[in-house]
Structure 1
Amino acid sequence: MSKYYRINQNIRYPEVRVLDQEGGQLGIMPTKEALEKALAAELDLVEITDKATPPIVKIIDFQKFRYQEDKKERSGSAKANQETKELRLKPFMAENDILVKVKQAEKFLKAGDRVKLVVKFQGRAITKKEFGEKVMNQALDSLAEISTIVEQPKYMGKLLIAQVKPKK
């Protein structure tokens, strides 16, 4: 979804703040004068924002500008693709069950997703916090080589939560 930009004669303001190609300010001038400068340089006058007073315009090649904006948008959406997967653990888990969960977490991390590890204390298990902490630390130690801890383990009610992300 690309934004609509006013260019050249479509800019309908008496005065504008003009920027050159490198972003340096050329100052406030009448729109006609700015348009003449742009045409003399064989470039376009592109409205960057109309929120400011006077509106900000830039003397640049519009096609190149549009390409760079689209490229920025695409790279931004690639980062947004990272999901957070949640793995539920229990304070009284067998060794092998923990290893299975760790393997699953490794799979998620290799796919580029964040992993949220949750130890859920059920019933009176909250009185034995050390068992939950042991399970969490064991899982985090197993994942230490391929991940970095984003959120240290902390309690939220009857949950012990930690979050890891893949190492670059």
Structure 2
Amino acid sequence: MSRQNKKDEVIMNESIHAKEVRCMGDDGTNYGIIPTRDAQQTADDLGLDLVLIAPDGKPPVAKIMDYGKFRYQQEKKKKEAKKKQKVIVVKEVKFSVKIADNDINYKVKHAIEFLEKGYHVKCRVFLKGREMAHPEAGAAVLERVWPMIEEYGAREAEPKQEGRFVNMYVVPKNEHHKN
């Protein structure tokens, strides 16, 4: 069994092998340290489950609760958290060192459209062959591009070389002011 499955596995009811547990009720009742079979009997009498919460405790901590309801609420919380997450879309605009002005203007127009839609834009210059010896030429292209998109976005960092590329990240202006 993988470590992930073991972590997700919940020890409850008859699967609890400890002699005694520190037992709590779902309503906040503290039963103290009692033998596991007594805790199980109490849970059965209430029509609930005995769930091991902290198996590594001395003694282990168990809680009397409706496990089905508990799991449902956990799933609900996860879904809520997922709804509130914001997905960041990163669009990429590629340039080359020997790019013509009209090509730069065309690609900048696309970058501006992406920024207006709220996307993050990664401007990158691909360095071919001997251009690798002069990455500053790639940075120079991005420095020519920056003034054209400056009013639409905020630059996260100066252009920097990563492998065969010189990259510059630009985030939408309105989003940058929120931070």
Listed as ranges, the gaps of 5+ residues in structure 2 are none
Q: Which runs of structure 2 are paired with 1:102-121 in the superposition (5 Å)?
A: 102-107=112-117, 109=119, 115-120=120-125
Using structure 1 for the length normalisation, give the TM-score.
0.62
Give the distance between the partners of 2:137 and 2:146, measured in 1 at CA: 16
Give the distance between the partners of 1:118 and 1:137, measured in 2 at CA: 13
Give the distance between the partners of 2:9 and 2:135, measured in 1 at CA: 58
Cα contact 1:16–1:29 (8 A) shared by 2: yes
Question: What residue in structure 1 maps to residue 139 of structure 2?
Answer: 129
1:139 and 2:149 aligned: yes
1:94 and 2:101 aligned: no
Shift in alpha-carbon separation, 1:37–1:140, aligned structure 2, 3 A: farther
Listed as ranges, the gaps of 5+ residues in structure 1 are 110-114
Which structure's residues are more often helix, by fraction?
Answer: 2
Aligned residues: CA RMSD: 4.0
The one of 65, 68, 71 equivalent to 2:73 is 68
Tell which structure's C-alpha radius of gyration is larger.
2
1:43 Cα deviation (Å)? Answer: 3.0
SS in 2 for 1:129: helix
Using structure 2 for the length normalisation, give the TM-score.
0.59
1:63 Cα deviation (Å)? Answer: 1.6
**Superimposed CA distance per residue, residues 122-164 of structure 1 (whole angstroms, 9 cap, x where no aligned partner):** 32462473541342464363146xxxx7x43451345133264
Matched letter for residue 10 of structure 2: Y
1:59 and 2:60 aligned: no
1:12 Cα deviation (Å)? Answer: 2.2
Give the distance between the partners of 2:25 and 2:60, measured in 1 at CA: 14
Matched letter for residue 95 of structure 1: N
SS in 2 for 1:141: coil
Cα contact 1:85–1:108 (8 A) shared by 2: no
Question: What residue in structure 2 maps to residue 112 of structure 1?
Answer: none
Shift in alpha-carbon separation, 1:64–1:107, aligned structure 2, 3 A: same
**Superimposed CA distance per residue, residues 81-115 of structure 1 (whole angstroms, 9 cap, x where no aligned partner):** 94653403337553232111332455573xxxxx3
90-99 or 72-81, which deviates more = 72-81
Identity of aligned residues (%): 25
Cα contact 1:16–1:56 (8 A) shared by 2: yes
Equivalenced residues, count: 157
Give the distance between the partners of 1:15 and 1:137, measured in 2 at CA: 70
Shift in alpha-carbon separation, 1:97–1:67, aligned structure 2, 3 A: same
1:22 Cα deviation (Å)? Answer: 6.7
